Amino acid sequence: MRRLYSHEGHPSDHELTLREYLDVPRPRPAGRPWVELCMVASLDGSTVVDHNSRALSNPTDQALLLTLRSLVDVVLVGAGTVRKEGYGPPKTPNLRVAVVSRSADFDFSLPLWTCGRVLLVLPEDAPEVPVPSVRAGVGELDLARAVSLIDADVVQAEGGATLNGALAAADLIDELNLTLSPQMTGGDGPRLTVGTPPVRHRMRLAHVLEDDGFLFTRYVREH
Ligand SMILES: NC(=O)c1ccc[n+]([C@@H]2O[C@H](COP(=O)([O-])OP(=O)(O)OC[C@H]3O[C@@H](n4cnc5c(N)ncnc54)[C@H](OP(=O)(O)O)[C@@H]3O)[C@@H](O)[C@H]2O)c1
Residue range 198-215: mean pLDDT, rounded: 97
- Distance from C-alpha of 76 to C-alpha of 157, rounded to nearest angstrom: 5
**Ligand 1 pocket residue status of 100, Cβ below 6 Å:** yes
Q: Residue 19 C-alpha to ligand 1 middle, in angstroms?
A: 27
166 Cβ inside 6 Å of ligand 1: yes
Measured in Å, residue 76 CA sits from the centre of ligand 1 at: 11
Q: pLDDT value at position 127? A: 97
Percent of the chain, pLDDT > 90? 93
As a whole number, mean pLDDT of residues 161-178 equals: 98
Alpha helices (H) along the chain: 18-22, 59-69, 79-85, 111-114, 143-149, 161-169
Atom number, ligand 1, closest to the C-alpha of residue 38: 3
| pLDDT value of residue 71 | 98
Residue 109 clears pLDDT 70, i.e. is over it: yes
Q: In the predicted model, what is the mean pLDDT of the chain?
A: 96
Q: If you measure from the C-alpha of residue 98 to the centroid of ligand 1, how many angstroms do you get, rounded to a whole number? A: 13
Low-confidence winner among 14-18, 104-108, 160-164 (lowest mean pLDDT): 14-18
User: 131: burial class by Cβ within 10 Å (0-12, 13-18, 19+)?
Assistant: middle
The answer to whether the beta carbons of residues 204 and 222 sit under 8 Å apart is yes
Give the per-residue pLDDT at 12: 62
* HSE of 142, CA atoms in CB hemisphere, 13 A: 11
Mutating to test ligand 1, I would choose from 82, 162, 173 the residue with most ligand atoms within 8 A of its C-beta, which is 162
Q: What value does the mean pLDDT take over residues 45-50?
A: 96
What's the pLDDT score for residue 15?
77
pLDDT of the residue at 13? 57
Q: What percent of the chain has pLDDT over 70?
A: 97
Query: Beta 133-135 vs 118-122: how paired, if at all?
Result: parallel
Per-residue pLDDT reduced to its tens digit, 173-204: 999 999 999 999 999 999 999 999 999 999 99
Distance 159 CA to ligand 1 centre (A): 6
CB 161 within 8 A of CB 169: no
Query: Residue 11 — pLDDT band, cuts 50, 70, 90?
Result: low
Contact 181, 53 (CB under 8 A): no
What is the per-residue pLDDT across 132-153, written as a single tens digit (0 to 9) for each? 999 999 999 999 999 999 999 9
In the reported structure, the alpha carbon of residue 78 is separated from the centroid of ligand 1 by a whole-number distance in angstroms of 4
- Is the pLDDT at 14 greater than 80? The verdict is no
Question: What number does the ligand 1 atom closest to the CA of 47 have?
Answer: 1
Q: Give yes or no for residue 175 CB within 6 A of ligand 1.
A: no
